[in-house]
Amino acid sequence: MKDNNIETYYDKCIEFMEQIKNPILKECCQIIYKDFKEKLINKPATTGSHHFFKGGLLYHIYCVTRNAIAICNLYPDLEIDLDLVIFGGLLHDIGKTNDFYDFIENSDNVKNKGNSAVLLGHSYEGVHIVENYLSNYNIDDQFKNQVIHTIGSHMNEYSEWGALVMPKMLEVIVINFADNIDSHIEPAHPIIKQANKGEVYKINNAPREYYKSLNPFYNLQR
Ligand SMILES: [Fe+2]
Ligand SMILES: [Fe+2]
């Protein structure tokens, strides 16, 4: 992903929103994206573990939503609510918009320690943002809790940066795994071409090391 086409991914996220059938969720998501556009297209997704580049936050959000929709399509009989999956996918990390400085090349000026997400965590901050926007609509209270649950539980673990509560809906389980796939695979992109077969390599503070296959046949054309 190159910096100069991040706007393309913003447009693709807007296209995902078009698939949301519930008019309140669709409009709420559209307004949040309008209000947070500058932050989404300028911030990294993390301080180095994945998507550490300008617009990395938005690109990661696009990939997670894309992955989540694909997972739902693999399980058509489960009646997973695609509205919640798309809404939750597009907004799962919206709390990070208050977490970091905008990405500046060759700078370590990334963490914004004074902002609320640093003090409260991006799951809480995301819940806070989405709940504020949803308060403008006449929406069933329990359903609103389900919508917010997709943000607050998406990390699927209790930790410093983790979930407020464990996932209790299939929609969040899908979002969590879609998120995990993307955050573990993306860091390999810049280095995978140069890495030698059989060589262990580590990328920034990515969550794990990678070890390239020794199979002499694996990269032959299929
Ligand atoms: Fe997250
Ligand atoms: Fe994420």
Nearest to 150, CA basis, from 167, 162, 125, 131: 167
Looking at all shown ligands, the one closest to residue 50's CA atom is: 2
Looking at all shown ligands, the one closest to residue 175's CA atom is: 2
Domains in the chain and their CATH numbers?
3-189 (1.10.3210), 191-222 (no CATH)
Q: Distance, CA 220 to ligand 1 centroid (Å)?
A: 36
147 CB-side CA count, 13 A: 25
Ion ligand 1, residue ranges at CB < 5 A: 93
Looking at all shown ligands, the one closest to residue 90's CA atom is: 2
Would you write out the chain's pLDDT as a tens digit for each of its 222 residues? Answer: 655 699 999 999 999 999 999 999 999 999 999 999 999 999 999 888 889 899 999 999 999 999 999 999 999 999 999 999 999 999 999 999 987 667 766 665 555 555 666 788 899 999 999 999 999 999 999 999 999 999 999 999 998 788 999 999 999 999 999 999 999 888 888 777 778 887 887 777 776 788 888 888 887 777
So what's the pLDDT on residue 167? 96
Could you give the CA distance from residue 27 to residue 48 in angstroms, rounded to a whole number? 33
Q: Distance, CA 145 to ligand 2 centroid (Å)?
A: 20
Looking at all shown ligands, the one closest to residue 126's CA atom is: 1
Other Cβ atoms within 10 Å of 83 Cβ, number:
18
